[in-house]
Amino acid sequence: MTARFSYDNPVFSCYAFYASILILKMFFVAFATILSHKISEPSITVDDSTSSTKTNVTVERTRRVHLNDLENIPLFLFAGLLYILTDPPFDTAQMYFRAFTAVRILHTIIYLNAIPQPARAIAHTISLLLIIAMTVTVISQASVYL
């Protein structure tokens, strides 16, 4: 039997691929937040103040995208690892990992481009449902031993 957390396991390899994309996406959004802050130079605190005391819409938007990533992507990363322990079919796991990654990227595009609701809410809801589906699978398998 192949070790579950090994690149010999296609489910783990798939998870590692999409998790890495999400981690890079988080770095990109963090960098975009810093860059938009430096370009517009809004004053968030007194020590940041150089000339302006206004907040910038672009800075706030990228900051909220980053915070949203910090609230959702770690949940996926953890739930995904637990999900791998359930020894899921590759096609199902790939669908969950691929869909979550695509929806999080789409959510970022929607948010940064100020596309009106309900687009962002739909993308966010889909990502949460994917995490819930993986977590329910974990709970159903783990509950057998309780």
Question: Of 30, 23, 111, which is closest to residue 73 (Cα–Cα)?
Answer: 23
Domain-wise residue ranges, the chain: 10-145
How confident is the model over 31-45, as pLDDT tens digits? 988 888 777 765 555
- Angstrom distance (rounded) from CA 106 to CA 100: 10
CATH topology of domain 10-145: Four Helix Bundle (Hemerythrin (Met), subunit A) (1.20.120)
How confident is the model over 56-109, as pLDDT tens digits? 788 888 889 999 999 999 999 999 999 999 999 999 999 999 999 999 999 999
Q: What is the pLDDT of residue 15?
A: 98
Other C-beta atoms closer than 10 Å to the C-beta of 1 total 5
Peptide bond into 88 cis (omega under 30): no
Stretch 116-123: mean pLDDT: 95
Is the torsion defined by CA of 29, 20, 128, 82 positive or negative?
negative
The pTM of the full predicted model, rounded to 2 decimals, is 0.86
Other C-beta atoms closer than 10 Å to the C-beta of 79 total 21
